[in-house]
Chains A and B, each alone.
Chain A
Amino acid sequence: MTALTAEELISRIRSHIGKNFIEYHTGRRNRVFITVKNGSHRDVARLFSELAAHLSVITSVDLGEYLEMVYHFEIKPLQVSLKTSAPKSNPRIETISDIFISAAWYEREAMEMMGLKITNHPDPSHLFLPDDYAECPLRRY
């Protein structure tokens, strides 16, 4: 497979999800950050899995009014971070663990640490924290 450029990848995602694409920016050394609407991240993840992407990790970020999930993929030679967010009052984001099996653990961490509600998750129990720990330690605001 020939190496993708950031522009080619963006145009493929745009044609795949249309108006659900919000914005993107590139950083140094092949870093690409893409923001899509909640829900479309699954379509993009499916597209990435066809491109033989490697899921590095999933980060959860507290943006104040919103909670954000950042899915870090490697699509050689690009390092792509796919973002989607949900309002803090109803932080529901659907799992991608059926597309990338290793996402299951990263999503469990996001649930216990940031209080996100990952829907359709195969095992929503706590990963690092005790089972009865109800706080969301990584929330900032």
Chain B
Amino acid sequence: MEVVVQIGPQHLALAEPERFRIHTEGEKVVGVDVAVGYNHRGIEKLAERKTFEQDILLVERICGICSMSHPVAFVQAVEDIANVDIPERAKYLRMIIAEMERIHSHLLWAGIAAEIIGIETLFMYIWKDREYVLDQLEIITGNRNHYAWNTVGGCRKDITESQFPGLLNALEVVERRTEYYIDSFLRNRTIRARLIGTGILSHEDAVRYCTVGPTARGSGYAVDVRKDDPHLAYDQVDFDEIVLDGGDNLERAKVRLLEVIESVKIIRQAIDALKELPEGDLAVPVTGIPQGESVGRYEAPRGEVFHYVKSNGTFYPERVKIRAPTYANIQAVPSMLDGDTLGDVPLTIASIDPCFCCTDR
């Protein structure tokens, strides 16, 4: 007999409001209905009523974690319309903060996964280590989140020579600790038992649902905006795109943790490059945005952030379309859950690193 279990909109297993209706036969999941929209704030409409400069701060507030990814995607689209090339230093500055965001987001995810699995100590350890990155973000930008780092034409602040040692030190700690966590995820029997073979997303479904980010890369679907559509200085630094084939929860966890190591590599190279570039060359002046349209993309920690901006030549955009990574990935969740047991549902939903406030905007 089929029993429907409703998870959400308000539920202990979910950090944000969204509704999953799980159809079960005994413990087995036989179907899932997803309903979104409980966090809809009308940001696309609001963006049309604000100037381009104000919109940078507005899109920063779509998500508490991706507060660098959204503005980078947005300003890149606007800079394309205005036909502006930002200074070389600004490219590296944006890249450093964005990669620090990736590190703290992936560590946040790993902590939540550890908590759902039931190992609270690991959760506490991981979140403690995440603080090293957040502290550096606060020292450099003035905020742990919502950095207000971008402007059309470049960056608003600089990273000074005196801030490099602290940042490099934090990276060293994070790298060492992440290697330990990779070891924990790969060797610990309890964690492996929960992750292996659960929430399987086949390669075909990953492609069919046009998934993005670690969710896609854990199923062997190589999509990474940093490689596919080079921007900022990603073509100047050496890093690997982590693509694994298994498609289960373990592979997605591995992709994220291995990406932390890659992000550390990117930031180190960016710091070396910054030392060679003249300080203070932050932004080029942009006066007025002409009529036009463009697409801005950035590889946020959860996957591709997509912004389409259309300008009518005034101070206000004609249309801003925002697609956050979870909006693409959540559609593949029913396929992941199909055939799993009810107890694996919270972990599998968490395995796409869902951000419902991004999805709903």
Instruction: Check A56 for interface membership: any CB of B closer than 8 A.
Output: yes
Q: Is the CB of B328 within 8 A of A102?
A: yes
A31 partner, pick from B80, B209, B323, B327, beta carbons under 8 A: B80
Which residues of A have CB within 8 Å of B268? none
Residues of A contacting B292 in the complex (Cβ-Cβ under 8 angstroms): 27
0/1 string, B278-314, CB within 8 A of A gives 1: 0000000000000011110100000010101010000
The complex places the Cα of A126 from the Cα of B100 at a distance, in Å, of 37
Interface size for A (C-beta < 8 A) is 34
A100 with B210: CB separation less than 8 A: yes
From B34-42, B91-99, B116-124, B144-152, give the one contacting chain A. Answer: B34-42
CB of A19 within 8 A of chain B?
no
* Contact status B323-A101, CB under 8 Å: no
A81 to B304, CA, bound (A): 16
Is B331 part of the contact surface with A, judged by Cβ < 8 Å? yes
In the complex, whether A18 has a CB less than 8 A from a CB of chain B is no
Given contacts A79-B297, A127-B36, contact A74 B42 (CB under 8 A): no
| Min CB gap B216→A, angstroms | 9
State which residues 188-210 of B face A: CB under 8 Å: 208-210
Are A129 and B210 CB-contacts (below 8 A) given A28-B83, A29-B229, A74-B228?
no
Chain B residues closer than 8 Å to A137, beta-carbon distance = 42, 45
Q: Does B44 have its Cβ within 8 Å of any Cβ on chain A?
A: yes
Give 20 A-B contacts (CB < 8 Å), ordered by A residue. A27-B293, A28-B83, A54-B223, A55-B210, A56-B297, A57-B327, A62-B319, A72-B308, A76-B228, A77-B229, A79-B295, A79-B297, A81-B295, A101-B208, A102-B210, A105-B327, A105-B331, A113-B44, A128-B40, A140-B318
Beyond the given A56-B328, A59-B319, A127-B36, please list 4 additional residue pairs across the A-B interface where CB-CB is below 8 A: A77-B228, A105-B327, A113-B44, A137-B42
